[in-house]
């Protein structure tokens, strides 16, 4: 069964790559979140300008990264997300 979580914060490393995502009462290492998304255990979304947008993945394996769907805008490029 899929469960949905809203991302409200991210941590990034020095290169700007998302290393952790989190929200109200939850937080996951990026790699764990990617594995759970790939195995259909969780669904992630984010609120942008008052609208909820699905979060998807681009790339594969250890090179996978989070994007907004359907346009594929990389989550690491969103400037308004605070650190977790």
Full DSSP string of the chain: --EEEEE-EEEE-TTS-EEEEEETTEEEEHHHHHHHHHTTSEEEEEEETTEEEEEEEES-GGG-EEEETTTTEEGGG-TTPPP-
Q: Is residue 84 part of a domain?
A: no
Domain total of the chain: 1
> pLDDT class for 21, splitting at 50, 70, 90?
very high
Query: What pLDDT score was predicted for residue 61?
Result: 79
User: Can you give the residue range of the structural domain that contains 57?
Assistant: 3-77
Question: How open is the CA angle 71-75-80, to the nearest 5 degrees?
Answer: 115
Q: Is residue 83 part of a domain?
A: no
Q: Is residue 29 part of a domain?
A: yes
Averaging pLDDT over each range in 27-36, 44-53, 57-66, which range is the top one? 27-36
Q: Is residue 39 part of a domain?
A: yes
């Amino acid at each position: 069964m899929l469960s949905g979580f809203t991302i409200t914060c991210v941590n990034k490393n020095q290169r700007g790559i998302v290393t952790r995502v989190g929200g109200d009462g939850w937080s996951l290492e990026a790699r764990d979140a990617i594995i759970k998304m790939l195995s259909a255990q969780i669904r992630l979304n984010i609120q942008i300008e008052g609208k909820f947008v699905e979060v998807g993945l681009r790339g594969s394996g250890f090179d996978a990264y989070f994007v907004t769907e359907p346009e594929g805008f990389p989550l690491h490029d969103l400037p308004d997300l605070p650190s977790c």
